[in-house]
Amino acid sequence: MAKLGNGFDCASKAEIDMALDTGIDPSRIIYAQPCKTKSYLRYAAQMGVKQMTFDNADELYKIKACFPDAELYLRILTDDSTSLCRLSMKFGASLDIARQLLELAHELELKVVGVSFHVGSGAEDPTAFVKAVQDARMVFDQAAEIGHELHTLDVGGGFSGDTFEKFAGVLSEALDTYFPPHIRVIAEPGRYYVATAFTLAANVIARRDVRDPEDPANDAYMIYLNDGVYGNFSNIIFDHQHPVAQILTCANASNAATSAGIAYSIWGPTCDGIDVISQRITLPGLLDVGDWLFFEEMGAYTKCSATRFNGFSDNHEVIYISSEAGASALLEY
């Protein structure tokens, strides 16, 4: 991504280091965390990462003390009520206080260069972008009246693959309506890039027969996988996703297809009762210990938010396949 000319949105010292390790210039990084640790601020100053966001007065005083040469973006509040993961509950200055913050930044002789917003991750309403752009235009005008010279608008992220074209079209039209061509526009489409990054294969490590004694003809099982919500399925908790299990057919598999299908609940390996991947799913074959399931379109908020809870590893074997034919061959093996 660095070689393609992309910049990087970082939220911590570790992410700043990851971005700088690619060899990019610090000017291609925005420290997009409105509430920052003092030591991280000093580190950003040391590394020359000037661009950063703020949304409150205390943050401005902190920046003045730790990094007075920073280039600031005012993070404004947006309506993200239709998004999967709402961010407005935590970040963003309302329009009621935006002018006050811009005036304070001017008094502190801090340089405000732009406005940022985020309509929430997994946004479902494209008009949220229109309203956010309108609000950003108002803040740009207020900043100009106060004496700031703003040149950049950060439209955040929240883009998903299945709605990207529609949302991008609405956003592009709003930008053309409210902002002149010389204003630089940046975005943070992390979810869009990685939502379908990989197919996850998980092994059945245990099985439990939970058939109703009064209805023994209907098979029902609890199966336990070697991965769960504390691992790559963390997107179930953090991102409100519903991964769909499919049987991975492989040599010597015992999952012969049945006409009616078999009911399963699917669980992760930890001792925590919330470590459940699927409360109920019907699959077309009998699964046993050692069999495999696969889950397509994994990526966003999976491995990056995995933990080592209960001592389980967050390191997993990765197989790279460079063609659709290769992927099909592996899944049909």
What pTM did the predictor assign? 0.84
| Residue 156 domain flag | yes
Alpha carbon distance 321, 188 (integer Å): 27
Q: Is 124 within 8 Å of 162 (Cβ atoms)? A: no
Q: In this predicted model, what pLDDT tens digit does every residue of 200-258 receive, in sequence order?
A: 999 999 999 998 777 766 789 999 999 999 999 998 987 788 999 999 985 555 555 66
| Residue 3 domain flag | no
Q: In this predicted model, what pLDDT tens digit does every residue of 4-19 receive, in sequence order?
A: 899 999 999 999 999 9
Q: Count of alpha carbons within 13 Å of 122, Cβ hemisphere only?
A: 13
211 with 180, same domain: the answer is: no
Q: Is the pLDDT of residue 102 over 60?
A: yes
134 with 276, same domain: the answer is: no
pLDDT given for residue 330 in this prediction: 66
Q: Is 26 within 8 Å of 67 (Cβ atoms)? A: no
Q: Which two tokens stand for residue 181?
A: 């061509």
CA distances 312 to 51, 231, 288, 305, Å, are: 38, 8, 22, 14
Residue 135 belongs to domain with CATH number: 3.20.20.10
Residue 208 belongs to domain with CATH number: 2.40.37.10
Looking at 166, 193, 220, the residue that finishes a domain is 193
- Catalytic-role residue among 10, 35, 66, 271: 271
For the segment 119-144, the average pLDDT, to the nearest whole number, is 89
The C-alpha angle with vertex 65 and arms to 64 and 71, in degrees rounded to 5, equals 35
For the segment 286-292, the average pLDDT, to the nearest whole number, is 95
* Tally of domains in the chain: 2
| Residue 93 domain flag | yes
Report DSSP letters for 239-276, one per residue.
S-----EEEE--TT----EEEEEEEEEEE-SSS-TT-E
Q: Which two tokens stand for residue 168?
A: 């991008």
**Is 271 assigned a catalytic role?**
yes
59 with 167, same domain: the answer is: yes
User: In the structure, what pLDDT confidence band is assigned to residue 87 with cuts at 50, 70 and 90?
Assistant: low
Q: Is the pLDDT of residue 111 over 70?
A: yes
Residue of 179 and 167 predicted with greater confidence: 179
Domain with 36 in it: 8-193
301 with 321, same domain: the answer is: yes
Q: What percent of the chain shows pLDDT beyond 90?
A: 65
30 with 144, same domain: the answer is: yes
